Amino acid sequence: MLSEVLHDLIVQFIGASDHAPFVILTEKMEGVTLENYLKTFRPSQLDSRRVLELTLNMSRGMSFLHERGIIHKELRPENVLLSLDHEKLKLDFGVAREESLQAKIDTRSAALPWVARELLQQSVHSCDLC
pLDDT tens digits, one per residue of 107-130? 455 555 555 666 555 554 444 444
Q: What angle do CA 12, 32, 114 make, to 5 degrees?
A: 75
Whether 83 shows a pLDDT value over 80: the answer reads yes
pLDDT at 19: 87
Under 8 Å between Cβ of 97 and 73: yes
| pTM across the whole model | 0.68
Residue 128, classified by CB atoms within 10 Å of its CB into exposed (0-12), middle (13-18) or buried (19+), is middle
Whether 56 shows a pLDDT value over 90: the answer reads yes
Whether 97 shows a pLDDT value over 50: the answer reads no
Residue 39 CB neighbours (<10 A): 11
Q: Please provide the distance, in angstroms rounded to a whole number, between the alpha carbons at the two ends of the chain.
A: 31
pLDDT tens digits, one per residue of 11-53? 998 988 888 888 888 888 899 999 999 998 877 888 889 999 9
- Ranges of each domain in the chain: 2-94
Whether 91 shows a pLDDT value over 90: the answer reads yes
Residue 72 CB neighbours (<10 A): 22
Question: How far is 51 from 42, CA to CA, in rounded Å?
Answer: 14
Task: Give CATH for domain 2-94.
Answer: 1.10.510.10
pLDDT at 45: 84
